[in-house]
Structure 1
């Protein structure tokens, strides 16, 4: 603990030396819906926290709904006195915030690694899965890919407008994969990439996607799953801020247009032993098949994680590369679980089902739980799509069915934690019911 405190204190003092104009730092963590919550600390107080002073926030901040409200979940929120819970600073995450009007810093905080971690905190859920895998001698290497849309900053009666092409000032309303779009929007995209790098995120490939104003960002591979998920979460925060600075809205909404492709979160995972050998490639790739089978078996029972809201279910079975059944294939983007072509050293799965607005900590935790389940049970997977285009098993396509399916599955409860599963499912159920409490114009048109 003393060693960690001295490291954190050195980090804060170095930051102050390099950024003497920064007076406040946002201490942030991701809640269940994938939004950041936290506190803005004076930087001199941050030094005290780094030196070992307590850092406490309400435990129930993790339980907020999508709109920020609290739901009654067991004894939490309304019958527990709303207690504080300890948090800690995440080393290496104190970085400048360049998209705000005043100089700021930000730093991740978490309950994992404290004396009493919050069982339903997303980062803690992933930390437990990773710890269990490490104890088994399994070391994941992970890379995220995130798709997002750019919109005009101004909404039209609450509806998004196409981003304006900076060269022609016309709406970028045409589906295209052309690289020219990267050139036309290079100013904002370059700023997004540089800002992400300033946050310590390894940005690699930028792609113009098929949807109008849609792009994809790839991150480098990491042997630290927590850090990989940190990158995905922090990228979403910085990208939204940079877009607003340039007169756009950046959105990771799963399906903003019914007629255009949705936005996904693709996760590449390979597994290694302590000597650096790829476990999936051993024994003529038999462990790969077992891992795929486990992923596909648990996938239908983790749908509230992969599709965390009403809109995310709209993406499934969409216009491009979004499956409606749990399936797999080699070099097949129609599959939920794709096996990219690679040499044995880099053999991996690409899990393609999650929406871009899913919680990255929970998505990775669910994927790793599926891989672990498959390696434990050693079952053969169903036929790949390359052999049978109809291959696949059904999964829930609405939230209420999905939470029932998730909450009852013993392996999901065991591997992700029963307390987390109960809390998460009730949070999603209540969020979905709250979403229904508004009558739309279409409803009046159909039934008035």
Structure 2
């Protein structure tokens, strides 16, 4: 038994009173590829967990590959007996689910904050970075923006199809930024926002993006950086569920169409001191430049985090707003790191490189580690794109090269954890090899 948590007990009891029809609750946690795993608990058993009954799941669930398989990584998976590890309930995340056919609830769980956290669990990796910053009196304020595509529910020969609305059957009639497209898909989009808000996610602006059936959702700035990453993860889950319920398929895949823009995860980050002053704005914005320089220095060594799969690497350098080199600029969406126009109070960076299907906990941990490195080393950045359109630092463009650049970088290992870097790089290396271990019809067509 663990110590009872009165707030959690009250949260569960309040939920049961408000939703007496709910008999089961999904307890969910994000693994390394960014998928949720967990268990479906009877709601009365959930109250026992809140009261102190230990909640345990296999430690190695975190190591699952994209397709759910396990890879041999050090002594994990096949040499450790597949031990259990304790998880805890995340307060404030017990919410009803509206996209399932039967009444259901869900609640986030994590090993962070337990007596023996899993060093390579994504939420724990971010929690460690935030605790380190907190000890230095630094408090990040974070906002995520996620792009995604809507498709028809059914694939055709394994390929995604453009979504059709009731007014227009022409897939090319998908004007970028037009309110009309928002109106035509308003039913599913508004349901997505309402489902997210029901999960506690403060979803705000909806934009029709450039690709056919592509949209973007913005979230409010949050002074709890862990919760900001929670919002991003929960939004992906609820959006996929709502899309299927409404007769569509939603995907955060980095590059679903070669001819259209990919989908990115844009992360806005400000840093404040304990008095509420924006640290990036001090000393004529010198800390801002240092933070940018640190992000640029680490970016080539964090590519497996920002581009977590083979498809995600297809985004870079193929169309507008998808950089092919590590760069920065003021009000420049071609840069990896954009500095939006703002007053000193709201001065921030917008990190635009990550694929929309990247793990939000790890993306934010990598960004904050880069900013911290720049501040500590008092780095100065390369020229912004506003001054030199050719300015930039090369970064790896495929997974195996990216893993090689990440696994031995001392700053990344120190900032995100030796054990995490070892596990993550080996997971990605073996998954890439597994992905490539198939001969496509194109190879036969070209080389037979």
Q: Is the TM value for this pair above 0.5?
A: yes
Corresponding residue number in structure 2 for 1:96: 96
Q: Give a deviation string over 1:70-101, Cα, whole Å, max 9, x none.
A: 00000000000000000000000000011000
Corresponding residue number in structure 2 for 1:394: 394
For residues 20-419 of structure 1, the aligned pairs below 5 Å read 20-171=20-171, 174=174, 176-419=176-419
Deviation at 1:342, TM superposition (A): 0.2
Q: What stretches of structure 1 move > 6 A for 4+ residues in a row? A: 1-4
| Alpha-carbon distance in 2 for matches of 1:68, 1:412 | 26
Corresponding residue number in structure 2 for 1:429: 429
**Is 314-323 or 54-63 further displaced after alignment?**
314-323
Deviation at 1:169, TM superposition (A): 4.4
Q: What's the Cα RMSD here?
A: 1.1
| 8 A Cα contact 2:164 2:171, kept in partner | yes
Question: Aligned with 1:216: secondary structure?
Answer: strand
Q: Which runs of 5+ in 2 are unaligned?
A: none
TM-score by length of 1: 0.99
Deviation at 1:318, TM superposition (A): 2.0
Q: Give a deviation string over 1:45-77, Cα, whole Å, max 9, x none.
A: 000000010000000000000000000000000
| 8 A Cα contact 1:383 1:391, kept in partner | yes
Deviation at 1:372, TM superposition (A): 0.3
Q: Give a deviation string over 1:205-227, Cα, whole Å, max 9, x none.
A: 10000000000000000011100
Question: Aligned with 2:215: secondary structure?
Answer: strand
| 8 A Cα contact 1:162 1:172, kept in partner | no
| 8 A Cα contact 2:3 2:51, kept in partner | no
| Alpha-carbon distance in 2 for matches of 1:182, 1:320 | 22
| Alpha-carbon distance in 1 for matches of 2:424, 2:375 | 26
Aligned residues: 448
| 8 A Cα contact 1:173 1:213, kept in partner | no
| 8 A Cα contact 1:141 1:224, kept in partner | yes
- Counterparts in 2 of 1:197 and 1:250: CA distance versus 1, 3 Å: same
| 8 A Cα contact 1:407 1:421, kept in partner | yes
| Alpha-carbon distance in 2 for matches of 1:82, 1:154 | 37
TM-score by length of 2: 0.99
| Alpha-carbon distance in 2 for matches of 1:163, 1:3 | 50
| Alpha-carbon distance in 2 for matches of 1:202, 1:56 | 30
Deviation at 1:203, TM superposition (A): 0.9
| 8 A Cα contact 1:328 1:384, kept in partner | yes
| Alpha-carbon distance in 1 for matches of 2:347, 2:177 | 27
- Counterparts in 2 of 1:4 and 1:209: CA distance versus 1, 3 Å: farther
**Is 161-170 or 75-84 further displaced after alignment?**
161-170
Deviation at 1:170, TM superposition (A): 4.4
